[in-house]
Homo-oligomer: A and B are copies of this chain.
Amino acid sequence: MSDAGEILSRLAALGLTLPTVAAPVGSYIPAIRVGSTVYTSGQLPFIDGALPATGKVGTGPGLVDPADAAGYARIATLNALAAVASVAGGLENVARVVKVVGFVASDPGFTGQPTVVNGASDLLTAVLGDVGVHARSAVGVAVLPLDSPVEIELVVELV
């Protein structure tokens, strides 16, 4: 469990604020709480409702640069945290981030998914400290909704 003010300070130090929860692109809700567990929907790196980039991640012409993709994973994770906060009564009620699944739309020759998904993992620990340390799967998929380069989902345990 983290202190609410401390979380706000960490976000501010990163130049971030929790965004409005992104509207689902289908018949579902952004996050759901069951008992003390929160499951988020897969979150895309929307900024004010638009994707900052589209395409597959890799190195070469027409591909999304892996370092940029890590930044998009960070944005998607910020959206996921906003979704968690919306059903948890604030991020200070997060006892532990349990699991992160990071889907990276990947050129078949790109094998650096862990580096991309570190954009998610590093944000979680930067904002939540030890509470943000989690188990994780990173996979390279063929294509993601709306041609997003990344999609991040969280399982979180509340206090």
Contacts and interface: CB of A to CB of B under 8 A. Distances in A.
Dominant secondary structure of chain A at its interface with chain B? mixed
Interface in A131-159: 133-147, 151, 153, 155, 157
A41 interface: yes
A138 B140 CA distance: 14
27 contacts: A26-B114, A26-B117, A26-B118, A27-B125, A28-B135, A29-B134, A34-B37, A34-B157, A35-B157, A39-B135, A39-B155, A40-B135, A41-B135, A101-B137, A105-B140, A106-B142, A109-B143, A111-B147, A113-B144, A114-B145, A137-B151, A137-B153, A139-B145, A139-B151, A140-B142, A140-B145, A141-B141
Interface of A: 24-32, 34-35, 37, 39-42, 54, 56, 96, 98-101, 103, 105-115, 117-118, 121-122, 125, 133-147, 151, 153, 155, 157
